[in-house]
């Protein structure tokens, strides 16, 4: 896989993902595992953030200690399944600003249509991490990134749980500047746009809907 995509091939991530894929896993366990995995993925998606130093006093002496530089980062959840990833990442980065992008699929054109958009101010000065568990066709992810760029974002990373090769290709064509971090890249999409083997509908699995 190219630099554009990072697969977090860590034993804990892969173990938790296997339990999430299992159709017998109950909603509460699925949600808890998503929270745990999202924190492990957040570790990877925030790699290389700009750092600075500040002067602090330890009980022993003064030191120049490393600290994150720049404006607080922005986490953008692509509704509704994005909220499952958002919760865990926000626990790890509690000072992050949070935004939401709501898109639905027009049943005639099959194109994503925006129904909600609320993002932090000064996106152009922040690292923006867009979160959506399933990168399937890539249509909604590309549309969400389009909207974020239109709102001023220039430094965007995309965090998902599972990706299909079709979605990665689509994202790479539309947004080659947006790196993708995922736990796994599955075989393909089925004829209705679900990732296989996948884990089913992420929103339904995390919220107990059908």
| 139 appears as a binding residue in the annotation | yes
Is residue 146 annotated as part of the catalytic site, yes or no? Answer: no
Rounded-to-integer distance, Cα 2 and Cα 126, Å: 25
Binding mask 54-83 for ligand URA (x = CB under 6 A): ---------------------------x--
Is the separation of the CB atoms in 76 and 144 below 8 Å?
A: yes
Find residue 135's DSSP bridge partners.
163
Binding mask 123-162 for ligand URA (x = CB under 6 A): -----------x-x--------------------------
Query: Considering beta carbons, is residue 37 or 134 the nearer one to ligand URA?
Result: 134
Question: Distance of CA 45 to CAs 106, 119, 149, 173, 194, Å?
Answer: 31, 20, 19, 21, 24
Give the burial class of 152: count Cβ atoms within 10 A of its Cβ; 0-12 exposed, 13-18 middle, 19 or more buried: middle
Going by the DSSP 8-state scheme, the letter that residue 14 receives in this structure is H
Is residue 157 annotated as part of the catalytic site, yes or no? Answer: no
Residue range at the interface with ligand URA (CB under 6 A); choices 8-16, 17-25, 90-98, 201-209? 201-209
Q: Which residues are catalytic?
A: 105, 109, 201, 204
Which residues contribute to the annotated binding site for 5-phospho-alpha-D-ribose 1-diphosphate? Answer: 80, 105, 132-140, 201
């Amino acid at each position: 896989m190219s630099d554009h995509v990072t697969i977090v091939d860590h034993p804990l991530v892969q173990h938790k993902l296997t339990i999430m894929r299992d159709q017998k896993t109950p909603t509460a366990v699925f949600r808890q595992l998503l929270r745990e995995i999202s924190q492990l993925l957040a570790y990877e998606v925030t790699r290389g953030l700009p750092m600075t130093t500040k002067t602090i006093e330890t009980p022993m002496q003064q030191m120049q200690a490393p600290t994150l530089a720049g404006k607080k980062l922005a986490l953008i959840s692509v509704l509704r399944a994005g909220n499952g990833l958002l919760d865990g990442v926000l626990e790890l980065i509690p000072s992050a600003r949070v935004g939401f992008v709501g898109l639905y699929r027009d049943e005639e054109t099959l194109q994503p249509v925006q129904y909600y958009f609320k993002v932090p101010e000064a996106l152009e000065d922040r690292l923006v991490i867009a979160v959506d568990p399933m990168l399937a066709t890539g249509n909604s992810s590309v549309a969400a990134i389009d909207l974020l760029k239109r709102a001023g974002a220039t430094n965007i990373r995309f965090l998902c749980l599972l990706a299909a090769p079709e979605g990665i290709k689509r994202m790479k064509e539309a947004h080659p500047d947006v790196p993708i971090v995922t736990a796994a890249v599955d075989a393909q999409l089925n004829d209705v746009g679900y990732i296989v083997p996948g884990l089913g509908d992420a929103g339904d699995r995390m919220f107990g809907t059908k």
